[in-house]
Amino acid sequence: MIALLRYQSALLFRSHRWIFPLIAYVVLMSVGGAGPGKQSLADGLGWSAAMLVPVVALLTRSMLTAEPAACRACVSAATGPARAQLATLITAMAGGVILALAGAGYELATSAHKAPFLVPMIVGLGKAAVCLLVGSAVGTLFNPPLIRHPAAALLGTLGAVVVALVSSISPANATLRGNGAAVQATAWPAGAPLVAAIVLAAGAWAVSCWLAGRRAD
């Protein structure tokens, strides 16, 4: 698995498919920080967490479509298609974690806050974790091997991102509660959004890895 992760990481960087998600995240972070005065740390962390949903979904899509069919067939034959798929999803998730930490650091450096700021940071990182998992689930469910038509996959990904941010049944919407959520969610029990996001992402990964061994390109 370590060798697979190294291969997928090298593939991501050499294909330059990380550039668009990175630029998108930077632009969205800049838009969130625009306006008169500095926003509070809690609001800034909420916004940076919300933007992880579309960015991680796009990053996951980039990873799932980066590898040429011939190379994927060789890797799958050598290591097993499920393991190869899992390594792809883990690599995309790792990229999302890096973006989440960078976004949190940026908000800490630029937002208006007073010490102590440990509690807002912990809450903000919790929101980022939920949005990261939801974004990964969206990118996994609406791209190969589940949806292989490029146009349908892209439109499905974008539509699912919108639903994830505005729907009251979405864990991402529930954890944001106004900090980036377009529609206010009804109150969820404490910790429920994180549990739901973990279950959603784990289920999406399991289905994707299972189908990877049953759908030949």
Q: Report yes or no on 18 lying in a domain.
A: yes
Q: Report yes or no on 187 lying in a domain.
A: yes
DSSP 73: H
Q: Report yes or no on 217 lying in a domain.
A: no
3-state helix, strand, coil in the chain (%, to 5): 75, 0, 25
Residue-wise pLDDT for 14-72, tens only, equals 888 899 999 999 999 888 765 555 678 888 899 999 999 999 999 999 999 888 888 88
**Amino acid identity at 153:** A
Q: Three-class SS of residue 189?
A: coil
Q: Report yes or no on 125 lying in a domain.
A: yes
> Among all chains, which residue has been given the structure tokens 């930490």?
101
Q: Report yes or no on 120 lying in a domain.
A: yes
Q: Three-class SS of residue 177?
A: coil
* pTM of the shown model: 0.89
Give the chain's domain count. 1
Domain encompassing residue 186: 2-212
What string of DSSP letters covers 115-150?
Answer: S--HHHHHHHHHHHHHHHHHHHHHHHHTSTTT---H
- Please enumerate in sequence order all residues whose Cβ is within 8 A of that of 67, keeping only pairs 6 or more positions apart, or say none: 11, 75, 88
Min mean pLDDT across 113-122, 147-156, 159-168, 176-185 is at 176-185
Residue-wise pLDDT for 123-165, tens only, equals 899 999 999 999 999 999 999 999 989 899 999 999 999 999 9
Q: Report yes or no on 15 lying in a domain.
A: yes
Q: Report yes or no on 73 lying in a domain.
A: yes
